[in-house]
Structure 1
Amino acid sequence: MTAATTTDSPSTPASTAPPGVAAALREATSEEHRHAESRGYITALMQGTLSLREFARYLGQLLPVYEALESRRPAREDPALLHDTAVHRVAALRSGLAALGVDPASIVPLDATARYVARLESLGEDDGLLHVAHHYTRYLGDLSGGQAIATMMTRHYGATAEQLAFFRFDGIPNAVHFKRVYRAQLDKLALAPGALDAMVAEARLAFALNAAVFDALDGTRSAA
């Protein structure tokens, strides 16, 4: 991303306004985001060199992550965006796994998945902003790059609409509008000094935890 320039006279001061929370999160985590989405496992899955069974394994490892993400008890001081159940994915994941012939109760989290879940479960009532970092990382990703994954799963492996339930947001008729509103809500957060830095660090951790799950899936393919 290049910085904007002005064509006003030299006496016109350049804007020094800091980026909003949404832009700050996106820009500060761009390297971690690229690292996660370029892992060998997800790249192979998207290129069509794996299988529908591997797609099911991928969804299976997401289930405990979303169960942890969505089981957090709401706290009074939580940002409002944490209370929007339209993004919740657990029911859709279970439905998609069932359509793929997988019993959700049979899923065993990989060690990397267990570490991801442990981090989510470690966040307490006073950690709402850190929870937002994970919320942002997962759900906005599902509404963006996740839709590309769904397209590739159909193209390469013949995945059905039922098997792709995870990527379908029935409660969000307009994803573009939803993401715009979501980012606006992020920008309205009243942050104490240092809070944004903590959110950025947590979002970076979220991407790292996600990348570790991809690597674990890649490392256990032959044993699956």
Structure 2
Amino acid sequence: MAQLAAISCSWYSWLEQGRQMQVSEQVLAAVADVLRLTAEERDHVFALAGHPPPDPGPCPDSAEDRALRRMIHQLPDAPAYLVDRRWNIVDWNEAAAALFGTPLDEVPVEDRNALRFALLGRHAPLRFVDPVRSAHLHVAQFRADTALLIGDPEFEAQVEDLLRDSALFRALWPLREVHRRSAGSIAYRHDVLGPLRFDFVATTVDHGASLRMHTFLPCPS
């Protein structure tokens, strides 16, 4: 085992004995690979060692992603769309297009992003009732969702674009607030539909899905 994981026999023995020692993520990953641990087992090992679970990376067109794509199109009355790890909107249902008030496939790809919609609203007749509070929540949740992307060139370029384009983002991003909200109520003012209130739910699938589903469930009037 030690040879396969490229570590010393003594060190591996200490690891098996549960001695108090610092274990690097690289060593844990090597041991997990040799033991052929499942994703769940690997995450558990990392948690025991006090490390965040490794980023599985994007898995485009996985079975989980395909299920999420089918799901949003089976919600005729609830606006729903799918975002990737950088909150780029990659699929949506007709109700979401009606909510945004514009065909999303006509929105430039660089602007077809949930955070840009929330902060800039250039392509939608949709406004938050409390835009500053909503911006705080969105930016803090975006930071939580993208923590593993720090250093990624595309992510860093996205942050630079947001810093350039959004005064709210320039004010909020340096605060380093983190928020993992999965559900909550959102109130909007819509130029055509008037006041709107939704229960917002963010849904993801562990180990396999590269996408997250954002769903807006209409609140009873």
TM-score category of the 2 structures, normalised to the smaller one: under 0.3
Instruction: Tell which structure's C-alpha radius of gyration is larger.
Output: 2
Greater RCO, CA 8 A, separation 6+: 1
TM-score, scaled to structure 1: 0.27
Higher strand proportion (structure 1 or 2): 2
* Structure holding more helix per residue: 1
